[in-house]
Amino acid sequence: MPDTILQCNPRADYLAHKREIDAAIEGVLEAGSYVLGQQVAAFEQEFSAYLGVGHAVGVGNGTDALHLALRACGVGRGDAVITVSHTAVATVAAIELVAAEPILVDIDSITLTMDPNRLEAAIKNSRRRRVKAVIPVHLYGQPADLSAILEIAKRYDLYVIEDCAQSHGASWEGRKTGAWGHMATFSFYPTKNLAALGDGGAIVTNDLSLADKSRQLREYGWRDRYVSLLPGLNSRLDELQAAVLRVKLRYLDAANLRRQALARLYDCSLQAQKSVQTPSCGKGLHVYHQYVVRSPERQSLKSYLQSNGISTLIHYPVPVHLQPAYKDRLTIGIGGLGRSEEACQKVLSLPMHPHLADHESLEVCEMLKRWAGSRENN
């Protein structure tokens, strides 16, 4: 049976804003400047204003954004960086790209984001190491406990780099994610809440010297053309993506409100279900990049929904420290990663995107209840 309800739908988002996006693309094609031009500069302005931060620097993708932010903070060989294992592999890969050592700490079992107690325990336990930065991940669109993490980072003099690849528009105590840390990074991969039609990313910060450094690093270490002040690389945002992102940014708040409304529908329908655990909101404003339920029988649920034309995804089936590329060689914070391992076995991302109809989300709930009913009768 073909999928009738998609888990995500970047094409629907293009079609919803087709006239404006096509016009923006045509404008770039006509203007004749294709990399780091007016569109990128305008997007950087608009995105930093939206977030309430001083500076934004457009780069090639979210992984590069993390890599360059770490380099801008001077993190490198001999340094350690604390993050979580229940995240996209990119978070950990970026730490190794600067030759630093990742230390992985466990998550809170309610919010599935970094447990600040584990963060502090890991810092205390790694006195021999030079812990230089912490990367909290606002997974699924839910802010990590920024107040606690910032307070700990301040006491131990660590940089905080927020990984906001899933949290465009989310906020904590009224301030947007990305406006809390020394730096923050975004991905504009086509399925993210703010999405390009290809790869894209951004680094944001309130610190002018960190912004300048990031700007230089993204293009061969140049401040002035052809003069490399730093050993940099090439990770530029192109004009077509920036022009598309400027259109999409105007609709980001509306899209996030729609995601939140769909989440309420799911919540209302599913909270009474014993067979699945619905996501619980922490203190922050959640923007539901994903709506993630947990079930010890998620494979059966996934197959049942699939056979009824409903696609779901698993974010993520294997935590980073158990992936083939990382297994048995990463440093694990004190207390272990039991909650991360458990989450990976239970999580299932239901269909969630701003163009999902109410009746579609209700159909997902109906099918989920039928699955639960069929299991109780067996």
Ligand X SMILES: *Cc1c(COP(=O)(O)O)cnc(C)c1O
CA distance 28 to 22: 10
Q: What's the min distance (Å) between Cβ of 85 and ligand X?
A: 12
Position with the least CB separation from ligand X = 62
CA distance 227 to 224: 6
Nearest to 336 by CA among 84, 77, 38, 54: 84
Q: What's the min distance (Å) between Cβ of 203 and ligand X?
A: 12
Complex with ligand X: residue 53 or 161, whichever CB lies closer? 161
**Which residues make Cβ contacts (< 8 Å) with residue 190, sequence separation at least 6?**
10, 196, 197, 198
Nearest to 144 by CA among 82, 62, 70: 82
Complex with ligand X: residue 163 or 219, whichever CB lies closer? 163
Percentages helix, strand, coil for the chain (3-state, rounded to 5) are 40, 15, 40
Tokens of 42: 């305008």
Residue for token digits 């996501």? 279
Tokens of 65: 């954004």
Bridge-based pairing of strands 201-205 and 183-187 is: antiparallel
Q: What's the min distance (Å) between Cβ of 208 and ligand X?
A: 25
Complex with ligand X: residue 94 or 210, whichever CB lies closer? 94
Q: What's the min distance (Å) between Cβ of 112 and ligand X?
A: 12
Exposed e or buried b per residue across 32-52, where buried means at least 16 C-beta atoms within 10 angstroms of its C-beta: eeeebbebbeebbebbbebbe
Complex with ligand X: residue 36 or 84, whichever CB lies closer? 84
Report whether 84 contacts 340 (CB < 8 A): yes
Complex with ligand X: residue 116 or 201, whichever CB lies closer? 201
Nearest to 290 by CA among 232, 235, 327, 343: 343
CA distance 359 to 307: 19
Report whether 240 contacts 57 (CB < 8 A): no
SS3 228: strand
Residues that bind ligand X (CB under 6 A): 61-63, 87-88, 90-91, 137, 163, 165-166, 187, 189, 199, 201
Complex with ligand X: residue 330 or 365, whichever CB lies closer? 330
Q: What's the min distance (Å) between Cβ of 269 and ligand X?
A: 27
Work out the angle between the directed axes of helices 252-270 and 239-250 (0-180°, nearest 10).
Answer: 60
Q: What's the min distance (Å) between Cβ of 69 and ligand X?
A: 11
Q: What's the min distance (Å) between Cβ of 274 and ligand X?
A: 30
Complex with ligand X: residue 166 or 216, whichever CB lies closer? 166
Q: What's the min distance (Å) between Cβ of 271 and ligand X?
A: 26
Tokens of 151: 């307070």
Q: What's the min distance (Å) between Cβ of 189 and ligand X?
A: 4
Complex with ligand X: residue 115 or 163, whichever CB lies closer? 163
CA distances (Å), 376 to each of 179, 272, 275, 307, in order?
47, 15, 9, 19
Complex with ligand X: residue 181 or 201, whichever CB lies closer? 201
CA distance 161 to 180: 9
